[in-house]
Amino acid sequence: MSFVFNADEIFEMALQIERNGEKFYRESAKRIKDSDARDLLTKLADMEIEHQKVFQGMRTALTPADQKAMTSDPNNEAGLYLASLANTKVFFEKDIDTSQLQGIFKSALAAEKDSIAFYLGMKDLVPTGSGRDKIEEIIREEMRHVRLLGEKLAALKR
């Protein structure tokens, strides 16, 4: 079965990815003894919550046409597929070194880049007029996260 996703489904997946990221950062913060590093990881978790709010707002603003299923899916296979992708490709199913801050930042940076690649691929599945421009907003949000993590990782190496 071939899937065509609408913007509403993409936003639900984006929300799950952001929830996964928040969990990763909070759990990582618990493992770090350095208070400055712990504060930074907590800030990153809080940023994931802000992303969730942004994406939820964008999802709420969708028109009924954007929310309309693009294919017949009586068994919710598309939803299960999306949930599986969101839960395995970004922040999970990776060998993550959380013993030191540098490992956490490297893993987070890779996960954020994976999320961008994921959204770029999913954008092509959303037909023009069904919210493709909204997906581009998600990508820009994630690019800001990558820049922040890259700066922090570079600072650690100095």
At 64, phi and psi to the nearest 5?
Answer: -55, -35
Element of type H or E holding 100 = none
3-state secondary structure of 109: helix
Q: Give CA–CA dist 77/80, Å, rounded.
A: 5
Question: What are the chain's domains?
Answer: 7-157 (1.20.1260.10)
pLDDT tens-digit series, residues 50-81: 888 888 888 888 777 666 655 555 566 665 66
Give the pTM.
Answer: 0.74
Angle at CA 103, nearest 5°, toward 135 and 106? Answer: 30
DSSP run (H or E) holding 158: none
Count of C-beta atoms within a 10 Å radius of residue 107: 19
Which residue did the predictor score with more confidence, 90 or 64? 64
